[in-house]
Structure 1
């Protein structure tokens, strides 16, 4: 079985994914890191130098490869990965994938992302907290429909990583 973690940036996909993979003895793949490794470039540099269309085609290619893997893995997808083209349909159609949406409210996402703005090119230009909050609110409005098509939705607000991992394990039994 493959486990795909979905959610907005800052929702903890990579953090939870690494720990979940260790707990259940599966390999962990960070989708964005995989793309960066293949391209020998950061995602923001890929966008700047080759453009979004190039990136989305590459993202689709890597997603199809992850779906086709014949081993059990935990994959933390990029925040936008399921939201483009028919990517979510591909995930849903795969029989050996459990998709899990790590859901956080706008306030918690804002608190988390405010601390790491400089490391995230998509939001590094937002200087005021209210601008960041508005940006997240708009994105979540656009993406929420797609994320909600996951097989499992875990509300991560006011839960520890341990509690989230336990809930994922319970849902997958």
Structure 2
């Protein structure tokens, strides 16, 4: 089974995905890391050099390769992945999708403690700009995120809580 974790950057998709993959004995894939490895450039470099539209096409192609090549994997998607092309429908048709519905205040707190240089959409933003941007982005993306088959909307955001949702 493929399990796709979707949600905003900083919602914990990678952390939760690694933990869940270990518990299930599945392969863990971070979609951004898959792209970076294939392109031999960071996401920030790809955005800067090629632009968001080109990146989203690359992202779609990487998602399709994962679906074709893996039968059992936990996939941490990029925050925008479900919002372009028909990626959310593709993921729903190919496996289980879980939206990590983490409040913006929690995301801001998590991101404020991390290096933002690998997050091209956040570069150069002040704390108040970060809060405003993430709030607006989440509001815009929610229409795609809520199409997930499952929503983990309350703490704790743990693999144990996620396992209770999934039909395993």
2:65 aligned residue: 65
Q: Which moved more, 1:133-142 or 1:42-51?
A: 42-51
How far the C-alpha of 1:147 sits from its partner, in A, is 0.5
How far the C-alpha of 1:156 sits from its partner, in A, is 4.4
Equivalent position SS for 1:142: helix
How far the C-alpha of 1:118 sits from its partner, in A, is 3.0
How far the C-alpha of 1:140 sits from its partner, in A, is 0.5
Alpha-carbon displacement from aligned partner over 1:3-60 (angstroms, at most 9, x marks no partner): 1000100000000000100011011001000000000000111111122222111111
Q: Does structure 2 retain, via aligned residues, the 8 Å contact 1:101–1:152?
A: yes
Structure 1 moving runs of 4+ over 3 Å: none
Q: Distance in 2 between matches of 1:138 and 1:2?
A: 30
Q: Does structure 2 retain, via aligned residues, the 8 Å contact 1:27–1:74?
A: yes
Q: Distance in 2 between matches of 1:123 and 1:17?
A: 23
Q: Distance in 1 between matches of 2:116 and 2:151?
A: 29
1:105 aligned residue: 103
Q: Does structure 2 retain, via aligned residues, the 8 Å contact 1:117–1:123?
A: no
Alignment of 1:1-173 (within 5 A): 1-94=1-94, 97-116=95-114, 118-119=116-117, 120-127=119-126, 129-157=127-155, 159=156, 164-172=158-166, 173=168
**TM-score normalised to structure 1 length:** 0.90
**TM-score normalised to structure 2 length:** 0.92
Q: Which moved more, 1:147-156 or 1:48-57?
A: 48-57
Q: Does structure 1 retain, via aligned residues, the 8 Å contact 2:47–2:120?
A: no
Q: Which runs of 5+ in 1 are unaligned?
A: none
How far the C-alpha of 1:123 sits from its partner, in A, is 1.1
How far the C-alpha of 1:71 sits from its partner, in A, is 2.0
Alpha-carbon displacement from aligned partner over 1:113-165 (angstroms, at most 9, x marks no partner): 122253323212112x22111101100010011011100100244x2x5xx21
Equivalent position SS for 1:124: coil
Equivalent position SS for 1:138: helix
